[in-house]
């Protein structure tokens, strides 16, 4: 049975996540199964100690950064527990610490360690091995993310444009509460009646909850708890940012892999044309991703390519190019894929594009190169921030994660540009433009600029909230965007969320500081 270890220097890395923020903790534990998590939670509950659940710490909102107490790191719970087939598709049950990267490898090679499988699961596995190809569509760019972290953040990624975020691909969840009780919810299982919800734990005890009355905007959204009348109860747990419990078993739904996956990058000489193209192509179906890179992001890539072997594989971007749109065609026949390519070509031409300014990837290695292009940008910006920190600047990553309705895309881009210019800041922007969700990253040169950009993000949060958008579209709110969540929903709805959390976690032990702070009397 895993015990709580003292947080010695050896574990210092666990005080941080990819947001480059750092916290404090007295102890750390690496449970190996649900029973370990139950026993550790009971111990912490008895002592009234805070618990921060961690996956792979790739989060960008400091949600996995501890605020005192004990770190419960689930990265060693990474087994595949079983498989199921419903006549159409396959379902795989995994432990939360399994990385997306490993899971993808298992799916593409069809090789699972089946030592934990029941006889029934083994039969399904044998069938799966002989069947066609299947995939798990959620794809946060950082594939070292854990499946548990993805479920807790309702992570998205480029392919969310077509397939949606992680939520719809989670069929069942086992969650351990702060007091060690175990709750299991599945899709097609318990639902709320209006806003009244009843969660029944394994020991028969129940949590009777009044769900918040907020109305979620109709945009890509990972801000606060997911709530709507008559909702499936599992959906409240997904996206709960480590604040309601620790997921210990997760059943994932697979989909048949499209037979043709082509990547297409389109190069634009001006941003306005790239935006016009986006708004036009958003009306067409069949594209799995629609990603954007602005001129500053492209400049960073150009300089990375010059500098280092690690980035040598990046394609050459002609100097006249100021924006790139990357899109993916997923089709079941070559004819269908060609038809989509043709539609794309016509829309590109209409937006002033030229044939020689398109890169088309039709096989795996070419596609990997374009995907590497996408991944290289956030990686490079992280490296730039690290360099600035090493040279003595006390700053962290400043990346926006806001989405707006389609009708506001041009307005929000103009608003970002004018406010960045007003403050004389440097930035780089990229991301999921198909979902009207572009990450603007500020690159401060001084601590004054860093402070100014923090204020700027608050202004952006107010603008986006007032225009029907979300302050966090995919990374979750964590600790860094708690203020923005209040701007988006208002204090009354935040109090409703606080009441809900209190029912699951009466001593306010889990994920302290994530989404909203504790408030006396609630
Ligand atoms: C370069 C880069 C690119 C990225 N791109 C994207 C992107 O395109 N889309 C996107 O959505 N995200 C993106 N991310 C953010 C990040 O990868 C995702 O948020 C991911 O889902 C976090 O998973 P994790 O395992 O690292 O979680 P962690 O960072 O360890 O934790 C995140 C939150 O999940 C909670 N948590 C973790 N495991 C569990 C569990 N088992 N039970 C309950 N709560 C748990 C934690 O308490 C915390 O609140 C990117 C990150 C990087 C570094």
User: What is the arithmetic mean of pLDDT over 343-350?
Assistant: 94
* Rg (the chain; Cα; Å): 23
Q: Is residue 368, in this structure, part of any structural domain at all?
A: yes
Burial 49-76 (b: 16+ CB within 10 A, else e): bbbbbbbbbbbbbbbbbbeebbbbbbbe
Predicted confidence band of residue 432 (pLDDT cuts 50, 70, 90): very high
As a three-state string, the secondary structure of 451-486 is HHHHHHHHHHHHHHHHCCCECCCCCCCCCCCHHHHH
Largest CA distance in the chain: 67
Asked whether 165 lines ligand 1 (CB < 6 A), one says no
Mean pLDDT of 307-316: 76
Q: Pick the residue with more confidence: 285 or 121?
A: 121
CA 117 to chain centre: 29
Collect contacts of 210-215 with beta carbons under 8 A, ≥24 apart.
210/496, 210/499, 210/500, 211/236, 211/496, 211/500, 212/493, 212/496, 212/497, 212/500, 213/493, 213/496, 214/489, 214/493, 214/496
49 inside domain: no
Flag whether pLDDT at 436 surpasses 90. Answer: yes
Tell me the mean pLDDT in the region 260-288: 93
Residues paired with 261 in a beta bridge: 330
Q: What is the mean pLDDT of residues 170-182?
A: 98
Look at residue 397 and tell me whether its pLDDT is greater than 80: no
Q: Decide if 18 contacts 382 (C-beta within 8 A).
A: yes
Range of 271's domain? Answer: 260-466
Q: Is residue 486 part of a domain?
A: no
Instruction: Give the per-residue pLDDT at 130.
Output: 96
Instruction: Return the pLDDT at 141.
Output: 85
Residue 343 counted as domain residue: yes
Measured from the Cα of 510, ligand 1's closest atom is: 47
Q: Is the CB of 97 under 6 A from ligand 1?
A: no
Ligand 1 centre to CA of 98 (Å) is 12
pLDDT score, position 309: 66
Q: Say which CATH number the domain at 452 has.
A: 3.40.462.10
pLDDT above 70 for 327: yes
How far, in Å, is the centroid of ligand 1 from the Cα of 132? Answer: 30
Question: Which residues are paired to 196 by β-bridges?
Answer: 193, 210
- Residue 297 token pair: 């992001």
CA pair distance 71, 61, nearest whole angstrom:
17
Work out the average pLDDT over 246-275: 96
Residue 139 burial (CB count, 10 A): 23
Q: Nearest to residue 292, comparing CAs of 317, 328, 325?
A: 325
Higher pLDDT, 182 or 519: 182
- With pLDDT > 90 as the criterion, what percentage of the chain qualifies? 84
* The pLDDT of residue 59: 95
Above 90 in pLDDT, residue 295?
A: yes
Distance 198 CA to ligand 1 centre (A): 28
Return the residue whose CA atom lies nearest to atom 35 of ligand 1: 242
Domain count within the chain: 1
pLDDT, tens digit (0-9, with 9 covering 90-100), for 185-237: 999 999 999 999 999 999 999 999 999 999 999 999 999 999 999 999 999 99
Question: 156-182 burial, b for 16+ CB within 10 Å, e for fewer?
Answer: bbbbbbbbbbbbebbbbbbbbbbbbbb
| In a domain? residue 451 | yes
Above 70 in pLDDT, residue 346?
yes
Between 479 and 306, whose confidence is greater? 479
**Residues 7-26: tens digit of each pLDDT:** 999 999 999 999 889 999 99
Distance 62 CA to ligand 1 centre (A): 9
Query: Measured from the CB, is residue 249 less than 6 Å from ligand 1?
Result: no
Cβ–ligand 1 contact at 55 (below 6 Å): yes
Rounded to an integer, the average pLDDT of 379-398 is: 85
Is the CB of 59 within 6 Å of ligand 1? yes
Strands (E), 273-379: 287-293, 323-331, 358-361
| Structure tokens belonging to residue 271 | 């941003």
Cα-flanking dihedrals φ and ψ of residue 28, to 5°? -145, 145
Cβ–ligand 1 distance for 67 under 6 Å, the answer no
**472 lies in some domain:** no
Inside any domain, residue 35: no
Domain annotation covers residue 150? no
Q: Can you tell me whether residue 12 is helix, strand or coil?
A: helix
């Amino acid at each position: 049975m895993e015990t709580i270890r003292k947080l010695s220097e050896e574990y210092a890395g666990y005080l941080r996540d990819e947001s480059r923020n750092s916290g404090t903790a007295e102890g750390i534990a690496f449970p190996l199964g649900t029973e370990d998590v139950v026993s550790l939670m009971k111990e912490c509950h008895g002592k009234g100690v805070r618990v921060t659940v961690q996956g792979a710490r790739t989060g960008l909102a400091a949600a996995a950064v501890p605020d005192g107490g004990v770190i419960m790191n689930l990265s060693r719970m990474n087994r595949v527990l079983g498989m199921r087939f419903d006549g159409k598709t396959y379902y795989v049950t995994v432990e939360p610490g399994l990385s997306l990267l490993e899971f993808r490898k298992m799916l593409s090679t069809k090789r699972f360690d089946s030592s934990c499988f029941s006889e029934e699961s083994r039969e399904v596995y044998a069938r799966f091995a002989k069947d066609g190809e299947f995939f798990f569509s959620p794809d946060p760019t950082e594939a070292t993310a854990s499946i548990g972290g993805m479920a807790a953040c309702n992570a998205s990624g480029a392919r969310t444009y077509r397939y949606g975020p992680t939520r719809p691909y989670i069929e069942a969840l086992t969650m351990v509460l702060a007091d060690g009780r175990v709750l299991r919810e599945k899709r097609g299982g318990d639902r709320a009646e209006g806003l009244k919800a009843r969660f029944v734990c394994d020991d028969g005890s129940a949590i009777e909850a009044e769900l918040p009355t907020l109305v979620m905007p109709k945009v890509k959204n990972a801000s606060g708890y997911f709530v709507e009348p008559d909702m499936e109860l599992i959906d409240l747990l997904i996206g709960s940012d480590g604040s309601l419990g620790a997921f210990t078993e997760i059943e994932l739904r697979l989909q048949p892999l499209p037979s043709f996956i082509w990547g297409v990058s389109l190069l634009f000489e001006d941003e306005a044309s790239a935006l016009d193209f986006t708004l036009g192509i958003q009306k067409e179906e069949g594209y799995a991703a629609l990603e954007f890179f602005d001129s500053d992001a492209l400049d960073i890539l150009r300089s990375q390519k010059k500098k280092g072997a690690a980035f040598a594989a990046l394609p050459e971007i002609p100097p006249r190019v100021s924006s790139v749109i990357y899109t993916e065609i997923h089709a079941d026949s070559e004819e269908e894929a060609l038809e989509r390519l043709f539609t794309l070509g016509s829309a590109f031409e209409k937006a002033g594009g030229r044939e020689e300014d398109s890169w088309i990837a039709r096989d795996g290695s070419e596609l990997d190169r374009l995907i590497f292009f996408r991944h290289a940008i956030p990686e490079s910006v992280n490296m730039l921030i690290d360099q600035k920190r090493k040279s003595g600047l006390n700053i962290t990553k400043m990346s926006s994660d806001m989405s707006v309705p389609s009708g506001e895309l041009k307005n929000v881009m103009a608003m970002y540009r004018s406010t960045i210019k007003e403050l004389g800041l440097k930035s780089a922007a990229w991301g999921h433009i198909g979902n009207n969700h572009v990450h603007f990253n500020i690159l401060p040169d001084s601590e004054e600029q860093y402070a100014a950009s923090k204020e700027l993000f608050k202004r952006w949060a107010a603008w986006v909230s007032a225009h029907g958008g979300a302050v966090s579209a995919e990374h979750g709110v964590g600790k860094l965007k708690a203020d923005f969540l209040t701007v988006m929903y208002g204090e009354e709805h935040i109090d409703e969320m606080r009441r809900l959390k209190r029912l699951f976690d009466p001593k306010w032990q889990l994920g302290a500081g994530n989404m909203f702070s504790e408030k006396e009397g609630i």
